[in-house]
Amino acid sequence: MNKPLQFPLAVRAVMIDLDGTLLNTAPDLAEAANRMLAEMHRPLVPIDVVMTYIGNGVDRLIKRVLTGEMYAEPDEALFAQAKPIYERHYLAGVSLHSRPFPGVVEGLEALKKAGYHLACITNKAEKFTLPLLRDTGLHDYFELILSGDSLPRTKPDPLPLLHACEKFGVTPGEMLLIGDSQNDAQAARAAGCHIFCVPYGYNHGEPVDKLDLDRVVQSVFEASQLIVKA
């Protein structure tokens, strides 16, 4: 049993997940998926189903859309056909409907004002991540943006979190990750970082309160009120 934490937590840096934590990207991800399926003359997928597919990068999302299963592998030729179609449609509408969740901008403002190092860490490829953050006005809050193709491994591997710690010159115990999924919780625990999760994101349809977390927070702003600058 973990020793109960004392709040506010003393940290020096905060990392925040993108899809399902900062931004509601599901509408644009689903629209790109269904435009891909329509172009390939395949059945469309409801947005609530696509929401359960989000969280392991675009390749896995495409595979889930094609197979209807979380970890099945589609025919290689089918996937090779589908991927450029999906990427074309998603790049064209990457921020069409994606918006910050309530409390995100207020939380980022509070964290910035308090002087924390801020990083955005996502499994989304950089060619989608950067325009999405710029279009939604969030890009300039972050000193460091790590995308799914920035490093050799992605969440739930701890590498991106440890890379951020090194970049900011902090120990893992001085870092907080705010996320929305098991990917985030596993990465944080493996790295030795603190972890808060929001309940409104894309945890494959499962409630986050079942995960190994330090706290469930209702918003990024609430998270900002539960920490203090170390």
Quickly tell me which residue has 């079942």 as its tokens. 210
Closest CA relative to residue 13, chosen from 204, 194, 149:
194
Q: Is 209 a catalytic residue?
A: no
CATH architecture of 9-24+98-229: 3-Layer(aba) Sandwich (3.40)
Q: Which of 17, 19, 28, 180 is catalytic?
A: 17
**CB proximity list for 116: less than 8 A, separation 6 or greater:** 11, 12, 13, 14, 227, 229
User: What pLDDT tens digit does each residue of the chain (230 aa) get?
Assistant: 456 799 999 999 999 999 999 999 999 999 999 999 999 999 999 999 999 999 899 999 999 999 999 999 999 999 999 999 999 999 999 999 999 999 999 999 999 999 999 999 999 999 999 999 999 999 999 999 999 999 999 999 999 999 999 999 999 999 999 999 999 999 999 999 999 999 999 999 899 999 999 999 999 999 999 999 99
Alpha-helical (H) ranges within 74-198 are 76-92, 104-114, 126-135, 159-168, 182-191
pLDDT of residue 105: 98
What confidence score (pLDDT) does residue 3 get? Answer: 64
pLDDT at res. 219: 98
Homologous superfamily, domain 26-92: Putative phosphatase; domain 2 (1.10.150.240)
Amino acid residing at 36: M
Cα 121-183-190 angle, rounded to 5 deg? 85
* Contact between residue 45 and residue 107 where contact means Cβ atoms under 8 Å apart: no
Count the Cβ atoms, other than its own, within 10 Å of residue 100: 18
Tokens 């986050």: give the residue. Answer: 208
Residue 206 CB burial class (10 angstroms; 0-12, 13-18, ≥19): exposed
Residues 157 and 196: their CA atoms lie apart, in Å, by 17
Q: What are the residues whose beta carbons fall under 8 Å from the beta carbon of 225, sequence distance 6 or more?
A: 8, 110
Q: Where are the domains of the chain?
A: 9-24+98-229, 26-92
CA atoms of 144 and 124, how far apart (whole Å): 15
User: Is residue 100 within a helix (H) or strand (E), and if so which, with residue range?
Assistant: strand 99-100
pLDDT of residue 4: 78
User: What pTM, to 2 d.p., does this model score?
Assistant: 0.96
